[in-house]
Amino acid sequence: MAKTNFYLRDKNALSETSIFLTVFYNKERVKLSTSESINPEFWNEKDQRPRSTKKFPTHPEFKTRLDNLENMVNDILRTYKNDNEGKLPPPDTLKEIWNGLNAPKKETKPVYNFFSYLDKFIDDLPSRIVEKSGKPFSYHTIKGYTSLKNVLIEFKNHNRKYRKLDFKDFDLDFYFDFQKFLTEQKTMAVNTIGARIKNLKSVLNHATEHDVNTYTDFRKKRFRVLKEKTDAIYLTLEDLKDIERIDLTNQPPLDRVRDLFLIACWTGVRFSDLKQIRQER
């Protein structure tokens, strides 16, 4: 049907040079490019295949790839002939089909909506490092993002306008609607609302920097993190001594809670950790 030849772009090259495939049919000569290249030192011009030498240990695999390319062009010609009443393709058509089959495959990036990206963001946090501290993200920080996800789901289910909440929806209208929901429906304090907004902006910034999100209304000045000053409530040493002096002999449960509270005050250990303490430890 057709005669095929492989040849080097530059047979005198001192390093790797491209390999081309020439196809002869119907008095036409068609030059096809391949993705293969080889150092002329390892090329057998007569056989049009790599030399069988220890200096080129992958020659068997290389030869197989060239055989496959030769078979491919013959398959193209055969298929075209069968589909076109015995006619072979014009040179330009052969090139077009060949290039389509041999074009490098583009890596397809995963497509995310907001919630699928948020899930990925949260899943990746345990293996990420905080830039400022150089330490892993804490459990408390990760929990904050999980809380954000949960309250956003509640919000979109509560407000039909945001039922399909996605990147494009995070504008100032969303900001004030979300803030109202957190205040009135969830009765959150200002600083808690601020923490949710801060985490949301972090996720959106991350998505934008990774070319997943193209909507940037969340960066407007009015889309800000709320914060208010709070009075730090604390006990003095005299207050702790007064608590210690209270007689709870007849109330063992309260007596134990009082002891744990005082231990936490004097040691700085979190109450959640104190609850894990057992006598045998």
* 18 in Cβ contact with 9 (< 8 Å): yes
Could you give the count of Cα atoms lying within 13 Å of 20 in the half-sphere of its Cβ?
13
Bridge partners, residue 19, by sequence: 8
pTM over 0.85: no
φ, ψ for residue 187 (rounded to 5)? 45, 45
pLDDT for 243 beyond 60: yes
Q: Which residues make beta-bridge pairs with 43?
A: 50
Has residue 230 got a pLDDT over 90? no
Tokens of 83: 């589909």
For the chain, the residue count is 281
Burial of 2 (0-12, 13-18, 19+ CB in 10 A): middle
The terminus-to-terminus CA distance of the chain in angstroms comes to 85
Q: What three-state secondary structure class fits 49?
A: strand
pLDDT at 275 over 60: yes
pLDDT digits (tens, 9 = 90+) for 2-61: 899 999 999 999 999 999 999 999 888 999 999 899 999 999 999 999 999 999 999 999
At residue 28, φ and ψ (nearest 5 deg) are -105, 150
How crowded is the C-beta side of 100, counted as CA atoms within 13 Å? 7
Give the pLDDT confidence of 128-179 residue by residue, as tens digits: 988 888 889 999 999 999 999 999 999 999 999 999 999 999 999 999 999 9
Whether 239 has a pLDDT exceeding 80, the answer reads yes
Cα–Cα dist 73/217, whole Å: 53
